[in-house]
Amino acid sequence: MSSPVLPPSPGLMVACLCAQWCGTCRDYRPLFDQLEAEFSPAKFVWIDIEDEADLVDPVEVDNFPTLLVVADGQARFFGTLTPHIDTLRRILQTQLAADAVPIADAQAQGLAQRLMRHLA
């Protein structure tokens, strides 16, 4: 049973930091793409940390998939997330709430800014 989806925010970006060789990431990709359709016009990006090392550095990604959720230009969530669509859906809904606050992680905030410039 899926949860109701909040209206999308044009200021929402969801980045999945992955690696091509990671089987869990490959399995997660269709679910990630499904949420992209549900949360349109949010920007969903798939970032291979090896192909985009210059963009991701100095952030160390040790576990996959690692998700970065950015709302209103600020990182709101950054961490490893099990590949369950309902979990990511709930995180996105929570981060779109009016009382959601940016995380206090300077590296995640820096990565969010680099990604937004790169995608502009």
4 located within any domain: no
Residue 10 has pLDDT above 80, yes or no: no
pTM: 0.86
Q: Which residues fall within 8 angstroms of residue 42, CB to CB, at 6 or more apart? A: 8, 9, 10, 12, 13, 14, 36, 92
> How many domains are contained in the chain?
1
Q: Which CATH number belongs to the domain containing residue 104 in this structure?
A: 3.40.30.10
Q: Report pLDDT digits (tens) over 37-70.
A: 888 888 999 999 999 999 998 998 989 999 999 9
The answer to the question of residue 40 being in a domain is yes
The predicted structure's pLDDT at residue 5: 42
The answer as to whether 97 is a domain residue is yes
**Residue 6 within a domain:** no
Evaluate whether residue 3 is within a structural domain. Answer: no
Give the residue from 73, 80, 100, 97 showing the smallest Cα distance to 13. Answer: 73
Q: What does DSSP assign to residue 95?
A: H
Rounded Cα distance between 24 and 41, Å, is 26
H-only helix segments in 1-120? 23-38, 53-56, 85-96, 106-119
Structural domain containing residue 60: 12-119
The verdict on residue 104 lying in a domain is yes
Residues 60-114 pLDDT 10s = 898 999 999 999 889 999 999 888 889 999 998 888 887 889 999 999 999 999 9
Query: How far from chain centre, in Å, is Cα 111?
Result: 11
In-domain check, residue 43: yes
